[in-house]
Structures are given as structure tokens and as C-alpha cells.
Amino acid sequence: MVDLLVVMFWIWTAVSILIFVRRLVTSRTLRADQAPHERQPLTSSDRDDRIAAFEAKLATQEPPDDTPAADPHERRSLQAAPDASGDPQAETLAQALAGITMPADLSPLVADDIDPRRLLCLTTTASPEVVAEALAAELERLGFVLSLPDERSIAAARRDATVLVQIMGSADAIRAVLGDRLATVPDDAVVATFQLR
């Protein structure tokens, strides 16, 4: 019985070595200079190229059909076009808000549909009043001229973009306005919606 176990051990060892050598010869994955599956770190230019490609893809997408528009011609008029002064208009919210630092721990709220002209941000660390005041200061820093239709809305205008911001502080109101897809919004959340016009 012991002799049989010794023979099986040596057969198993020989087969394992043969498999290892075959994989080494055919794939050459053990050589550091020829590792095909090793991921190279991105350079800053590669990263910038990927970001630009993603933003271009977002810019070419049509806004989702659930975006309110009184008539189909209004939606086309929202697309970027030079204004009367000939300055190009921002095509995406990212272009309009380039350089913004989100105050009050606001972070993007991801939904299933992507609209490059709309953004939802959420925070649980500040009141609606604090969020509205901090956003107004940040938009002014970016060169926007503000008008305040009410205490929880901001209309920010600049020669290349107009951004409407609405701040909602009640979870029930948030769900009523934004629908059931955001049913997981915490009860103490404050949501800010940004819309590029």
C-alpha cells in the first residue's frame, strides 16, 4: 500500500511540473518584461483623453424623454447655440460649472438615466438654508449673476450658461418631485437639483 502511494505522489509531481512548464512556454506570463495582462498606470494625458471622450459622449446624448418640455421645439432650443454676442454656450452642466467645489458635503446622486444637462446632489450634513447660502456663494465665485426666485431656488446666469438650482429639504417632497426611483433617499437628506437652460 505504501509503495502505491509513493508511485502516485511521483506521478502527480511529474504531471504538475509538465503542466507548469507547458504554461510557462506557451504563455510566457512569468517574465516581467512580457506580462501582457499587467495594467499600466494611466498618464495624466491618457486620463484627460478618457474624460474628454466621456464628456463628448454625454454631450451627444439626447436628454431623456421624461424631462419636462412644453413642446418639442423648446427641447431643441435648449441645445447649445451661440447667443446674440456670438459666444458659444455651454452644452453640458459640466462645462457650465467647470471649477466648482461642491459645498456642504454635496455629492452626486446617481440615477439610471444620464442627462448631461441635469444633476442631482445630496447631503445629510447641512440644512437646506446652509446649502442654499453655500451654493449661492460658490456660483458667484464662478462668475454667475444670481437671482433668488424664492428661498430654496437660485437662478444663476452667465454669458455662456444659465443654471437653475432647486434645494429640497423634506424627504417626502424629494420623493414626490423626483419619483419612486429615488425611494432610498434618507429622511434627513437635502437634495439640490441643477438644470442647465
The C-alpha atoms of residue 117 and residue 95 are separated, in whole angstroms, by: 10
How far lies 49's CA from each of 27, 38, 44, 168, in Å? Answer: 32, 21, 9, 36
Domain, as residue range, for 101: 83-196
Q: Spell out the per-residue pLDDT of the chain, length 197, in tens.
A: 788 889 999 999 999 999 888 887 776 655 544 444 444 565 767 667 766 766 666 666 665 555 444 444 444 444 444 555 567 888 999 999 999 999 999 988 777 677 899 988 888 899 999 999 999 999 999 999 999 988 889 999 999 999 999 998 877 677 777 676 566 677 788 889 999 98
> Are 186 and 99 part of one and the same domain?
yes
> Are 90 and 185 part of one and the same domain?
yes
> Are 126 and 191 part of one and the same domain?
yes
Asked if the structure places residue 94 within a domain, the reply is yes
Environment class of 178 (CB within 10 Å of its CB; exposed 0-12, middle 13-18, buried 19+) = middle
Joined grid coordinates for residue 159: 454669458
> Are 95 and 190 part of one and the same domain?
yes
> Are 157 and 90 part of one and the same domain?
yes
Give the pLDDT confidence score for residue 58 in this predicted structure.
63
The C-alpha atoms of residue 106 and residue 24 are separated, in whole angstroms, by: 51
> Are 10 and 97 part of one and the same domain?
no
Can you give the CATH number for the domain in which 114 is found? 3.30.310
User: Comparing C-alpha atoms, which of 154, 129, 126, 128 is closest to residue 140?
Assistant: 154
Joined grid coordinates for residue 38: 499587467
Residue 179's H or E segment, with its range, is none
> Are 92 and 25 part of one and the same domain?
no
> Are 167 and 95 part of one and the same domain?
yes
Asked if the structure places residue 53 within a domain, the reply is no
User: Comparing C-alpha atoms, which of 124, 118, 81 is closest to residue 97?
Assistant: 118
